[in-house]
Structure 1
Amino acid sequence: MQEITSDWIEPLWYGSIFLGSGGGGKSELLASVLDKALQNRVIPLLTLDELSESNFFCGIGLLGSPELCEENLPSGKEASIAIEELEKYTGFQFNGISIVEGAGVNIFYPLLAALQTGLPVIDGDAMGRAFPELQMTTYHLENLPVTPLVLVDGSYNVHLFLEKQDTFLLELNTRQIVCQQGGVGYFAGFPYSGSVLKKVLLPSTLTFAREIGECFLHADNYHELFNLLLEVTSNSFYGPIVEIFQGTIKNISAYETAKWKAATLISPKGEELQLLFQYENLLAFKNGHIAASVPDLISAIDLNKLKPVNNNEIYEGQPLVLLGLPAPLRLRINKALDVVGPQCFGYRTIYVPLEKLYWDYYHEKEVFF
């Protein structure tokens, strides 16, 4: 069994931003809180192989606005309340915490909950990146419900969703409560045994996020950073990264609703790329053709700071490089694309894997599909 110590936090922070693919929320303050809390404590980290098949675990996460979460930092007590209520209903005594969204603030909040409860955390998650909705998980792909679920809002009011419920409907109902009750909420749900989680969760994604973050800490220049990231990703179940574009942000525009945004980047040679995003980066177009598409990750790196950035941190004139990371294969099957493909975000286009878009690059690396 590994242990998460304070040494994990900085690399995990950078990794959480990279895997957020532009979204996932700013995790700096939560990371800082954890760093201080872990100066004299540790969090046990269980691999999927170490899970007892008969023990039960619950998924912990944050819904709503990560920005509001930073304005009123959670303590982890919210999760303790939710777990206690969930144990009352299910009759289970949970033996650990699982991560639902392995990116952004939802990497760090379960760790805060683990410190509050004394429970270990599982090294794996149900998204492998940042996604905005509850149905965009590997649980949904296995027809496993989120419920029973307990939601604690920002005022510590408890909301119960105990009966089996369609995940799309549950997403709407929980979001409505969160919007009415301060814009942020904390949940405990996905109560499953170790035998189920071994089949459902994407393995070792917490460790992978840390390894990604270590690349940013050890690189002195972009060339070195790219090679470090290439080594880490090539030895993962994602796939080797590829450079999509390098240039400066020319402009950022919003459409009729704030949800729809685009950034135009221009290269030193005058080439342009359009990056379409909502919370996460979802599509990239170069010369009128798709250059990358969700569920593959499109992650931005500030070339001045040599650090990954969220979409709420980009600005006109900023030099960026966009890197593509192939999504895990389980997010690419047709059933998964029905909930995480471009059309699920309102775009009239189909998913095209990075390996097809950059055939020569991946063929040289003997990555086949």
Structure 2
Amino acid sequence: MRELNKQDMIDVLYGCTVLGTGGGGPLEEGLALMEQHFEKGETLKLIKLAELPDDEYAVTPYGCGAPSASGKDPKFAGLKLAEESAPVLAVQALESVLGKKIYAIGSTELGGANTAEALHAAIEMGLPLLDADPAGRSVPELQHSTYYIKDVPIYPMGVATHFGEKIVIQNVQNDLRAEDIVRAIAVASDNLVGVADHAHQGKVIKESLIPDMITYAQEIGAILRKAKEAGEDVAKAITDEKEGKILFKGSVTEFPWETRDGFNYGEIHLKGEEDFAGDTYKIWLKNENIISYRNGEIDVTAPDLICMIDENGDPITTPGFEIGQKMTIIALPAPKAWTTPEGLACFGPKHFGFDIEYKPFER
């Protein structure tokens, strides 16, 4: 076990936003959620998977949905917001059904807001956070999880709205059905809900997750911070130290997108600058960046990470782009779990309707 202080947690969230590949929620929301803990000087206990007892329960809280760039739907204006965050409410709903307190909190994915939900829930409930993750990045669908490829049930799961309503799903036929149910609740709740799922004992959890991912995110966040402090190229610093690659530098020319069925779908079009002058780049996204094209030819695909860094060295999330906004696109390698046949069937390009084989990017 080790203890994370304010700077450690900020580094974690910055790193998670890089690894969020455009999704995982805005970093600003994650930092705002954690500010109450920072002001109190609170710290967070981080435990390795091996430190989780076999017979104790861990659970994964997070936000689910697609944040709107146009603001709150007026039909929700008359509803009072709950005082507690929706993911914490979802954990509490699960505890009431299990009849047992949760021992540890896990993150559902690495993202600026969603990982903050796990940090917040852990501190708020006085629980340690697992140094592990079932995605190693942000992902658009609930079944994009190492739990899914290892056939670990998503239920029991708690769902809570930002208006305080709590729902417990005690069983569901499969993760795809769970996705449909949760997304339907999100659509009826201003496109965002809190979820707490995979409430299982340590002996199951330890065989299911990608270890050391919170530490990995913290390392990336620290690289970013130190590069900015030194006036260095953040994208180059990250790719040099984490086996990545700079894919493109340019500015946004257009970004058509829409929210549909609880997801943000869209494209980011860029024109090249500096060494990439005269070239074009396009990223197709479903909440997260999934596939990219350079000059019309496929460049990188999921499960490899397509990450965006702005001209100030900060990570970028979708969909709030501006015409002319400058960014550097980098690739980072996918966790090994996603490059297995089972992982690619779940989260490779064919899952998203692209009839191509996954090929890892070349450094």
| TM-score scaled by length of structure 1 | 0.86
Indicate if the aligned counterparts of 1:102 and 1:124 stay in contact, CA closer than 8 A: no
1:242 aligns with 2:245: yes
1:29 is aligned to 29
Assess if the C-alpha contact under 8 Å between 1:26 and 1:67 holds in 2.
no
Q: Structure 1 residues 289-298 or 70-79, which shifts more?
A: 70-79
Q: Indicate how the Cα distance of structure 1 residues 180 and 343 shifts in structure 2: closer, same or farther if over 3 A, else same.
A: same
The alignment partner of 1:290 has SS state of strand
% same residue: 25
Aligned to 2:75: none
Whole-Å separation in 2 of the counterparts to 1:294 and 1:197: 25
Moved more, 324-333 or 150-159: 150-159
Aligned-pair CA distance for 1:319: 2.3
1:228 is aligned to 237
Provide the aligned length of Structure 1 versus Structure 2.
Answer: 348
Once structures 1 and 2 are overlaid, which stretch shifts more, 114-123 or 291-300? 114-123
User: Counterparts in 2 of 1:121-132, with a 5 A limit?
Assistant: 121-132=129-140
Match of 2:153 in 1: 145
Query: Cα distance 1:79–1:274, how it changes in 2: closer, same or farther (>3 A)?
Result: closer
* CA distance in structure 2 between the aligned counterparts of 1:230 and 1:259, rounded to whole angstroms: 27
Q: Deviations over 1:81-127 (max 9, x none)?
A: 43333233334432111111122311000111112211111111111
The question of 1:176 aligning with 2:184 is answered yes
Secondary structure of the residue aligned to 2:203 is helix
Equivalence map 1:65-144=2 (5 Å): 65-66=66-67, 76=84, 78-144=86-152
Q: CA deviation at 1:248?
A: 2.5
* Structure with the larger RCO, 1 or 2 (CA within 8 Å, 6+ apart): 2
Could you report, residue by residue, the CA deviation over 1:271-326 in whole angstroms, capped at 9, with x for unpaired residues?
A: 222222232111111233221111100011112x1222113243222222111001
Which secondary structure does the structure 1 equivalent of 2:328 belong to? strand
Write the distance in 2 (CA, Å) between the matches of 1:262 and 1:59: 31
Structure 1 residue 344 and structure 2 residue 345: aligned?
no
Question: Structure 1 pair 273/181, CA: closer, same or farther in 2 (3 Å)?
Answer: closer
CA 1:105–1:77: 2 relative to 1, 3 Å: closer
- The DSSP-based 3-state class of the residue aligned with 2:207 is helix
> Could you say which structure has the higher helix fraction?
1
Q: CA 1:67/1:205 → structure 2, altered by over 3 Å: closer, same or farther? A: farther
Counterpart of 1:175, as a letter, is R
Equivalent AA in structure 2 for residue 228 of structure 1:
A
Give 3-state SS (helix, strand or coil) of 2:256's partner.
strand
Q: Mark the runs of 5 or more structure 2 residues left unpaired by the alignment.
A: 73-79
* Partner SS for 1:89: helix
1:59 aligns with 2:60: yes
- Give the gaps of 5 or more residues in structure 1: 234-239, 362-369
Amino acid at match of 2:28: E
Within a 5 Å distance, the mapping from 1:258-337 to structure 2 comes to: 259-268=265-274, 269-303=277-311, 305-337=312-344
TM-superposed deviation, 1:21: 0.5
Question: Compared with structure 1, are the counterparts of its residues 43 and 223 closer, same or farther at alpha carbon in structure 2 (3 Å cutoff)?
Answer: closer
Q: In the TM superposition, what whole-angstrom CA distance separates every residue of 1:47-79 from its partner, at most 9, and x where no partner exists?
A: 1122222221111111123459x9798764544
CA distance in 2, matches of 1:270, 1:96: 51
Q: Is the 8 A contact 1:326 1:353 kept in 2?
A: yes
Runs of 4+ with >4 A deviation: 70-77, 220-224, 254-258
Distance in 2 (alpha carbons) for counterparts of 1:44 and 1:338: 35
8 Å CA contact retained: 2:59, 2:106: yes
CA distance in 2, matches of 1:176, 1:76: 22
Deviation, 1:351, is: 1.9
Inter-CA distance 131–298: structure 2 relative to 1 (3 Å threshold): same
* Preserved contact between residue 6 and residue 35 of structure 1 (Cα < 8 Å): no
Measured after TM superposition, the shift of residue 186 of structure 1 is 1.0
RMSD over equivalenced CA pairs, Å: 2.5
- Quick one: structure 1 residues 311 and 64, their matched pair in 2 at CA, closer, same or farther if it must change by over 3 Å? closer
